[in-house]
Structure 1
Amino acid sequence: MEGQWLGEFSGMFSGTVRLELEERGGRSVGCAYLFYSPTDDLPGFMFNLDIPIDLPTSTEVRTVYLHSDGGIMTQEARERAEASLTERFHDLPIPEKLQVTIEKHGDDIVIRYAIADGKPEAIALARSSLQGPSNLVARADLTTWDQFREWAVQRRPRNYLFRGQSKPYKLSTTFHRTWRKNLQRWILEDVPVLYGAMSERISYPLQLGNMTHNAAFWSLLQHHGYPTPLLDWTLSPFVAAYFAFANVEPNDPICPRIYIFDQTKWNERYVKVGFTADPSPPQLIVLESFNFGNPRATPQQALAAVTNVTDIEEYIRQREIQDGQEYLTVCDFPTAEAPRILRELELMGITYGSLFPGLDGIAKDIKARFFAQDR
């Protein structure tokens, strides 16, 4: 059994739970993360799991205390937190050990665990899946390229992020599209191995553990094809349009899509100075990292968002419902407009060669110039 499951709980306390499992060696291995609402003023906790693939199952786990906004507590910080909790509740609501039962109900999961007073808590978790079509409905006011272009040039620069896709599949990172789901393992195992293998070829000295440097190194991995928990965006609506239309077939009935993300509204509510990807509540954090060693980033006006959720669209939609805001919209355009759009973009200086500097970019641009049948 592998995947990611998300859930919320309420009652005396409220909060979120995230479960991530991978199949390794005939077992399901991963982590569970529980975070309380900020108003509860409680630390979160996580525990590791190594359980049979077939459910139900019961196991004893050790809790690891987490800061309420993310990050693992040191032993000293945990002791201070335990002293405060004991004073408040006369007993620890988050004991060192928990007896956990995990049950499967269709695609969903129920986690049961016993807290200090012995009463079992049950939390239902829904599978975060990329199966099925995107649920986003295209904007009715931006149905043609002319409308979109006019709208785009009237926006204030940097208020919005854009992403172009030739198909309207759900938003998700390259990491979450693989069979891998245990983000903690990716950070603790993959990243150090990659850094060791690549460090001699990196001119800028990086320090793993520094959040800014982590963002820079992860971005470098992303742009060299290694799966990461980053989702690429651009500040330019026209760069996004190029990625949406560059490889479409003229008669394809599936429309290319441009995503529009209101980062100004989002960051007003969810901005973080730093980020901790795995031991954190469900999140989507926009990053502006160093562009060292990545000559594509500047011409693409690239930014990335780091996330620990599989289905980004659904996560944003839930935040929209909760906040009474609109953060993410989409525009779908007919493929028949592709030749005209690409010609306009070329006049703007947006081509494969300008976005991907190097010999490959030059060759592809000249190939398009001399081999295109419509010229």
Structure 2
Amino acid sequence: MQGQWLGEFNDEFSGTVRLELEERDGRSVGNAYVFYAQKDNLPGLMFRVDIGLVPPFETEVTTTYLHSDGGIMTLEARDSAEASLAERFGKLPIPAKLQVELDFQGDDVVVRYTTIDGQGDVITLIKSSLETPSELVGRADLTTWAQFREWAVDRRPRNFIFRGQKKPYKLSTTFHRTWRKNLQLWILDDVRMLYSAMSEQISYPLQLGNMEHNAAFWSLLQHHGYPTPLLDWTFSPFVAAYFAFANVKPEDPASPRIYIFDQAKWNERYGKIGFTADPSPPQLIVLESQRFGNPRAAPQQALATVSNVADIESFIRAKEIQDGQEYLTTCELPATEAPRILRELELMGITYGSLFPGLDGIARDLENRLFRPQTLPA
């Protein structure tokens, strides 16, 4: 029993529930989060979950108060919140403890909870699955390289961000592609351990208590291959095209995919909020972090999104349905166009060597130039 499960409730109050579990030392442990809609003006809640690996999956959980936009409340802030809630409702509506039973039904989990006075409810949470195929289909107006190139140059720079993938996998961070799902544990343990181990190798001062520095350190970890909750993007549609088609052969059956994310529209709806860490509501934040120690960031026109949601594609799709907007689309081009696309990108100055400065980049560029099949006329 490990993974991430999401659900919603719409009764007297509305909001989201997120459950994250990992199997460790013969137990399934993690956290559950409850965040209410802004209109309800209620604090978020976090519950530590610790259950065995055989039924019954029952446990008593203690309530931790969170700020409505994320972050654990101090004792002073909690006292203030409880006083405000007691005045508003005539009593404290949030119990200090809950009895919880988890019923795993296939990929989903039914959560039953009761308070000390016998009140309770049931909610079904759906597992965030990265194994199911992407539901996105390529745009009908962008089926050739010429169409995509013309569309791209007609867009206002930086309104859209792009990501190239050789295969149409769902969007997910390197952290969420692993067996681990407890992001708070990653933040509290992994980041501090890594910072302690790497601090002597970092030639510039970083303070993890500073959120901008925290974001920069996460980006540094991503740059050096450690799993993080970051997903790489680029402002350049042509850099994204390179990452989609590099090493693709014309006979490959899969169509490379270029994701197109309307960050201007997304930020207009959800606000261009700063970098935050878990525990927080389900979210996707566009992050332009400081580029400490990453010489590739500038030539790649790189940026990232940070998310606490495993299945980013489904999360965005749910927001599209909710808002009546379109945020995420894809361009899927046939692999047969790869030689011409890569040749045009080379003429633009977009090669492995330009995107990955250094000896490796030089060697790869020369390999591509001297060993590439001559499929186009000289």
Q: Which residue is equivalent to 2:374?
A: 374
**1:300-353 CA-partner distances (Å, limit 9, x unpaired):** 000000000011010000000000000000011110100100000000000000
Q: For residues 160 and 23 of structure 2, what CA distance do their matches in structure 1 show?
A: 38
1:101 and 1:111 in contact (8 A); partners too = yes
**1:284-311 CA-partner distances (Å, limit 9, x unpaired):** 0000100110000010000000000011
Gaps of 5+ in 2: none
**1:24-75 CA-partner distances (Å, limit 9, x unpaired):** 1111010000001111110011011111123442211111100111111001
2:98 and 2:116 in contact (8 A); partners too = no
Q: Which residue is equivalent to 2:306?
A: 306
For 1:155-234, list aligned pairs within 5 A: 155-234=155-234
One-letter amino acid matched to 1:306: V
Q: Which residue is equivalent to 2:322?
A: 322
SS at structure 2 position matched to 1:6: strand
SS at structure 2 position matched to 1:70: coil
Aligned residues: 375
Q: For residues 372 and 107 of structure 1, what CA distance do their matches in structure 2 show?
A: 46
2:4 and 2:20 in contact (8 A); partners too = yes
What TM-score does the superposition give when structure 1 sets the normalisation length?
Answer: 0.98
Q: For residues 291 and 359 of structure 2, what CA distance do their matches in structure 1 show?
A: 20
1:94 and 1:115 in contact (8 A); partners too = no
SS at structure 1 position matched to 2:344: helix
Residues 248 and 28 (structure 1), Cα distance of their counterparts in 2 relative to 1, 3 Å cut: same
Q: For residues 272 and 351 of structure 1, what CA distance do their matches in structure 2 show?
A: 32
1:33 aligns with 2:43: no
SS at structure 1 position matched to 2:65: strand
SS at structure 2 position matched to 1:194: helix
Q: CA RMSD in A?
A: 1.1
What TM-score does the superposition give when structure 2 sets the normalisation length?
Answer: 0.97
For 1:64-79, list aligned pairs within 5 A: 64-79=64-79
Q: Which residue is equivalent to 1:150?
A: 150
Q: Which residue is equivalent to 2:297?
A: 297
Q: CA deviation at 1:117?
A: 5.4
Q: For residues 115 and 42 of structure 2, what CA distance do their matches in structure 1 show?
A: 14
Q: Which residue is equivalent to 1:125?
A: 125
2:59 and 2:100 in contact (8 A); partners too = yes
Q: For residues 55 and 355 of structure 2, what CA distance do their matches in structure 1 show?
A: 49
Gaps of 5+ in 1: none
What stretches of structure 1 move > 4 A for 4+ residues in a row? none
Q: CA deviation at 1:91?
A: 2.0
Q: For residues 77 and 244 of structure 1, what CA distance do their matches in structure 2 show?
A: 48
Q: CA deviation at 1:19?
A: 0.3
Q: Which residue is equivalent to 2:339?
A: 339
Q: For residues 237 and 318 of structure 2, what CA distance do their matches in structure 1 show?
A: 25
2:97 and 2:116 in contact (8 A); partners too = no
